């Protein structure tokens, strides 16, 4: 499950409550029918079957990458432990740094070590609090594919808090959208995405179009750029192009509909001042 929300919406707080670092003031929290009691009842905060990875590097700087990952292994079966470490080094793409002291790694590399370390003693639930922020885009994409595929294969549940809508859409089975500590939307990822109804929800996925009631329907519509396209027929959406933004395989067009700013995708760059018709699809 992915949790989407702006800063201060409660994503990290929710993960800390689940893990047992913060007390739950109201309601109950349970895992497989067993009530979790939280920090007021546990001498050492945190549930043993849950691991959490945050933006802070939970690593030992003066030991090697392999030694970090093996920290919580029993060391009673050294060959088995070695195989486990090798497996996790591949998951986080750190095989080449096996014998490197962690203090000599970059911030993104340390974060990958922290991820592997959290998985060493396979948890039932992994909590991720925006752990990919310090990792460059190329590494991030590969790491996310490797990590989430591994979690699926091993049957490890995962809740990840993120600002990244692409990550949420690509890898989560369900999506929780938080707004000021309240549930804005929750359900299967595709269902949540296809039922966006507010500017707040739509804002995570791109520029937002708000069409007043009477423009296209009797109700106000909240639309994303891909939901509007060029029409060869005359429609009620007659816009004037203001600017074209290159997006690689398409252009994002900024236009004016009377006093409204409208954004839509188009296959080519459009000249400023060009008037055209749009349709909703």
Is 104 inside any structural domain? Answer: yes
| pTM for this predicted structure | 0.89
Q: CA 47, CA 67: separation in Å to the nearest integer?
A: 23
Nearest residue to 54 (alpha-carbon basis) of 128, 125, 122: 128
Q: For residue 161, how many other CB atoms are within 10 A of its CB? A: 25
Q: CA 126, CA 2: separation in Å to the nearest integer?
A: 12
At which of 166, 191, 216 does a domain end?
191
State whether residue 243 is helix, strand or coil.
strand
- The answer to whether 237 and 267 are in contact (CB under 8 A) is no
Say how many domains are in the chain: 2
Per-residue pLDDT band for 152 (boundaries 50, 70, 90) equals very high
Q: Per-residue pLDDT for 221 more than 80?
A: yes
The whole-chain average pLDDT of the chain stands at 91
Is the domain of 38 the same as that of 152?
yes
- The answer to whether 179 and 5 are in contact (CB under 8 A) is yes
Residue range 9-27, pLDDT digits in tens? 999 999 999 999 998 888 8
Is 197 inside any structural domain? Answer: no
- CATH of residue 247's domain is 2.40.50.140
Nearest residue to 204 (alpha-carbon basis) of 239, 246, 175: 175
At which of 130, 158, 191 does a domain end?
191
Domain enclosing residue 183, as ranges: 2-191
């Amino acid at each position: 499950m992915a949790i989407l929300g702006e800063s201060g919406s409660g994503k990290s707080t929710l993960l800390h409550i689940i893990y047992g670092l913060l007390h739950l003031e109201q309601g109950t929290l349970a895992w497989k029918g067993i009530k979790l009691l939280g920090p007021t009842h546990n001498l050492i905060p945190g549930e043993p079957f849950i691991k959490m990875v945050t933006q802070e590097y939970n690593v030992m700087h003066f030991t090697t990458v392999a030694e970090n990952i093996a920290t919580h292994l029993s060391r009673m079966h050294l060959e088995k432990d070695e195989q486990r470490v090798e497996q996790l080094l591949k998951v986080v793409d750190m095989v080449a740094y096996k014998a490197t002291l962690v203090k000599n790694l970059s911030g993104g590399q340390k974060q990958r070590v922290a991820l592997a370390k959290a998985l060493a003693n396979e948890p039932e639930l992994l909590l991720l609090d925006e752990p990919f922020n310090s990792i460059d885009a190329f590494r991030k994409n590969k790491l996310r594919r490797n990590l989430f595929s591994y979690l699926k294969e091993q049957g490890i549940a995962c809740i990840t808090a993120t600002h990244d809508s692409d990550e949420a859409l690509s890898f989560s089975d369900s999506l929780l959208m938080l707004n000021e500590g309240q549930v804005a939307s929750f359900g299967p990822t595709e269902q949540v995405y296809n039922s966006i109804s507010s500017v707040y929800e739509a804002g995570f996925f791109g520029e937002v179009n708000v069409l007043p009631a009477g423009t296209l329907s009797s109700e106000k519509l909240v639309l994303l750029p891909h939901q509007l396209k060029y029409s060869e027929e005359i429609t009620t959406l007659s816009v004037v192009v203001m600017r074209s933004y290159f997006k690689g395989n398409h252009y994002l067009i900024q236009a004016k509909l009377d006093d409204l700013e409208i954004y839509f995708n188009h296959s080519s760059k459009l000249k400023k001042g060009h008037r055209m018709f749009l349709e909703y699809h």
